[in-house]
Amino acid sequence: MGCNVKTKRELIKFSWAIFNVFSIILVMFLFGCSKTHKNSINIVGSTSVQPFAEMLAQEFERLNPGVHVEVQGGGSTAGIQSVLQNIADIGTCSRQLAGSETNLNSILIAKDGLAIVVHPSNSIDNLSREQIRDIFSGKITSWKELGGKDQPIRIITREEGSGTREAFVKMVMGKSRISRKALNQESNGAVKELVKNDPCGIGYMSLGLVGNELKMVSVDGIKPTIDEAKAGKYPLVRPFLFVTKNEIKPESQKFIDFVLSSNAQEILRREGLIPIK
């Protein structure tokens, strides 16, 4: 077989190139592994808690140079799973722990109101919890039935598994199901965007994240404000939890202590949460 010298050389060149690519990937991988900070805290969990956790992490890093706090979303359940699998040091959770999860160590860091939001042009100011339930279960389908304009109601809900949704179902829906016709959005931000642009829309989201582009309706005649929630009057309030295993890294403990300090609680209050103190 007369082997073509040129082809052979090209083949060797080619495999050499591939070998190089592989070794570069390998080296990068090794470096990637060794890069993990010794003093780092990994926080994973609820997308509702995430923006607040990030804010606290920044402040904590400023006060404790050399410690790195990484905050990720993923959802309450994902956060708890990550703690169980030792992927995360702290899991964040925006609902009550249930079932086997209660074996974990949980720390209440703040409470959050759940606001019922509508388009700013909507004339409805107050809804009872029964009315909200009937809207979301699809019994009431027009704003007219509630004294508003003759427009259909468009329900916007969070996806199955979301901590916000679970809290809403527990506090408002009870045994009834959220209507099949409800639009499902995968974050507080997406719900906000949709309600902001849809005059017929109604949704629910974290009180701290509503901003001033949406209209919040009173529930059972009580305005959704931090003061009302703190006084225990506003009915739709859920816990924000940090979840850890029973043994805990010193850095994580330090971060938790910081979060419970009056300084951090003040930050949370300013951002629209209900501090625990």
Partner 1 sequence: MKTDKIISWILLLMALTAICGLALITIFIFKEGLPILVKVGPVKFIFSMDWYPSEGEFGIFSMIVGSLAVTCGALIIGIIFGIGCAILLAQFCPPRLVSILKPLVELLAGIPSVVYGFIGVVVLVPLIRDYLGGPGLSVLASSIVLGIMVLPTIISISIDAIRSVPGAYREGSIALGATEWQTMCMLTLKAARSGIVAAIILGMGRAIGETMAVIMVAGNTLDLPQSILDPVRTLTSNIALEMGYAAGTHRQALFATGVILFIIIMILNSIALVVSKHGIKSRKIL
Q: Which residues bind partner 1 (CB under 8 A)?
A: 1, 3, 8, 11-12, 14-15, 18, 73-78, 81, 154, 159-162, 166, 177, 180-186, 190, 193-194, 197-198, 200-201
Give least dist CB 212 to partner 1, A.
21
- Which tokens hold the place of 7? 């082809």
**Measured distance CA(156)–CA(262) in Å, rounded:** 36
Entry field: residues in the chain: 277
Q: Which is nearer to partner 1, 40 or 81 (CB)?
A: 81
**Measured distance CA(55)–CA(62) in Å, rounded:** 11
**Measured distance CA(133)–CA(204) in Å, rounded:** 12
Give least dist CB 123 to partner 1, A.
20
Q: Which is nearer to partner 1, 111 or 165 (CB)?
A: 165
Give least dist CB 39 to partner 1, A.
28
Give least dist CB 95 to partner 1, A.
11
Cβ atoms within 10 Å of 107's Cβ, excluding its own: 15
C-alpha angle 78-58-206 in degrees, rounded to nearest 5: 50
The CA-atom distances, in angstroms, between 276 and each of 55, 109, 189 are 17, 7, 25
Give least dist CB 240 to partner 1, A.
17
Q: Which is nearer to partner 1, 185 or 252 (CB)?
A: 185
Q: Which is nearer to partner 1, 39 or 81 (CB)?
A: 81
Q: Which is nearer to partner 1, 130 or 186 (CB)?
A: 186
Q: Which is nearer to partner 1, 123 or 197 (CB)?
A: 197
Give least dist CB 42 to partner 1, A.
17
- Which tokens hold the place of 246? 């029973």
Type and span of the H or E element at 43: strand 40-45
Q: Find where tokens 């190089």 sit.
A: 20
